[in-house]
Amino acid sequence: MVIRRVLAPRIDFGALRRELGLPESFPAAAQREADTAAAAPPPAVADRTDVPFVTVDPATSRDLDQAMHLARRPGGGYRVRYAIADVFTHVRPRGELEAETWRRGQTVYLPDGNVPLHPHTLSEGAASLLPDADRAAVLWTIDLDADGGTVAVTLERALVRSRAKLDYGGVQRDADAGRLPEPIALLPEIGALLTTRGLHRGAINLPLPEQDVEPDGDGWRLVLRGPGAMEEHNAQISLLTGMAAADIMLAGRIGLLRTMPRPRAEAVERLRTAAGPLGVPWPDGVPVGQVLAGLDASRPRAAAFVDQAAELMRGAAYTAFDGAVPEQPEHGGVAAAYAHVTAPLRRLADRYATEACLALHEGREVPEHVRAALPKLPEVMATTDRTAGAATRGAIELAEAVLLAHRVGETFEAAVLDVDEPRPAGNGRAGRPPGGTVALDEPPVRARCVGDLPLGERVRVRLTVADPVERKVAFERA
């Protein structure tokens, strides 16, 4: 759901691309391999084109990793079919294309176009689960009981055919009107069950609005969106699959997990201390995830609490293992063991974790090529995560600075999301005046502000800096 949308003028993101060293094209040999793979006939695998899959993605996406079909099981419960693009079929081991994907690590998204992990002939063509075309996929079939508990998991290489490319906005409207298409008619029901199960085991989901920059004619829109219900339900299917993959790899004692420590007790206690002054009810015995799930993050005090809760979600990493199970295999946000396997067009790690799962499920040895790749992936993914994060932050900061460049000196209404402790100068260390982070009502900008700031309250702030070259915006309390 769009919360706020403001038009920004023309913006050149070229300097940001150059600063991050993002490639402009694929090496000729890698591109040739991709083109050859794209022109090859579909592999001889199980034919599941009779299942009416659909995809659900942002409206402009063409790199479609996942297709879904949901049904009731005879006798009760549900059957989740989740088809994931079979990228391994298109990328030759030890070839030039594989080497280039290791250099890139993941797709980097910028407002003026993405920097893809794979050439567009694959990522937006032959490997993408676009509608009305037969595509190679790894098909997860997960049977659930009536309460959403997993009772059986199978996976196989298969040929699938999506019937429609759906988008989050349209799916949400259809859900609100009670007219969801048959392949995902059960998504609200299953998604709600999976969410409830997650909260009961201690999962934490931060309901943070997402800030983005979108094209708008000759200019750009700075957009702030809250998470829509159907988008959250869709994410639960991906989490379900990732947990199933983790269980397979842990049982086989080899694989690649997405891990994060559980929140430290002292961090949870600090958050509990902040709840009272912010007016957030937190009854005894209620886990933090359930407290967060009941908040309306569009309210300033709730938004400040959610911002404070982000401190709980630290230390995410990829953990490879072979022989010995990791001492800490869980992801604290999921409250379970979890793996990335559902976005292989966009993330390198998913391709290899999926291959490990297929081998283990079929009772065969994990291919040596995959086994050798697993311990190298955490470093590659950590490096490219930083690049992708810097690209997202840099694009938003640039759009904010351009949007506000002509408004220095003006005052705005804002909510105080975070407050810094002032720090005196000394021992060669610069001092830090009182201040924190504020979120403007209009335009939807989040930035630093100096001055005495009451956490979770509304204040007037004055714009002091809006520098597109430095990509910097700053305020002071008015």
CATH of domain 406-477: 2.40.50.140
For 82, the 3-state DSSP assignment is strand
Reading the block at residue 377, the tokens are 């992936």
- Average pLDDT of each block of 10 consecutive residues along the chain (478 residues)? 54 91 96 97 94 95 97 95 97 96 96 94 98 97 97 98 96 95 97 96 87 80 81 96 98 98 90 88 92 85 88 94 96 97 98 98 97 98 96 92 93 91 70 87 89 92 95 95
CB 49 within 8 A of CB 160: yes
pTM: 0.93
For 318, the 3-state DSSP assignment is strand
β pairing state of 150-167 and 53-57: parallel
149-153's contacts with Cβ under 8 Å and 24+ in sequence apart are 149/197, 150/240, 150/243, 150/244, 151/77, 153/244, 153/247, 153/248, 153/361
Minimal CA–CA distance to 419: which of 460, 451, 464? 451
Query: Which helix H or strand E contains 404, and what residues bound it?
Result: helix 377-404
The secondary structure of residue 314, as a DSSP letter, is -
Q: Which residues contact 405 (CB under 8 A, 6 or more apart)?
A: 466, 467, 468
pLDDT of residue 428: 66
* Buried-exposed string 193-215: b where 16+ CB fall within 10 A, e elsewhere: bbbebbbeebbbbbbebebbbee
Determine how many CB atoms are found less than 10 A away from the CB of residue 452: 12
Residue matched to tokens 């008015």: 478
What residue segments make up the domains of the chain, in order of their start? 8-263+313-399, 265-307, 406-477
Reading the block at residue 311, the tokens are 């401190």
In terms of Cβ atoms closer than 10 Å to its own Cβ (0-12, 13-18, 19+), residue 170 is middle
Residue 137 has phi, psi (to 5 degrees) of: -145, 160
Q: DSSP for 22-72?
A: --SS--HHHHHHHHHHHHSPPPS-EE-TTS-EEEEE-TT-----EEEEEEE
In terms of Cβ atoms closer than 10 Å to its own Cβ (0-12, 13-18, 19+), residue 40 is exposed
Side-by-side strand order, sheet with 2-8: 2-8, 219-225, 210-216
Q: Which residues contact 112 (CB under 8 A, 6 or more apart)?
A: 13, 215
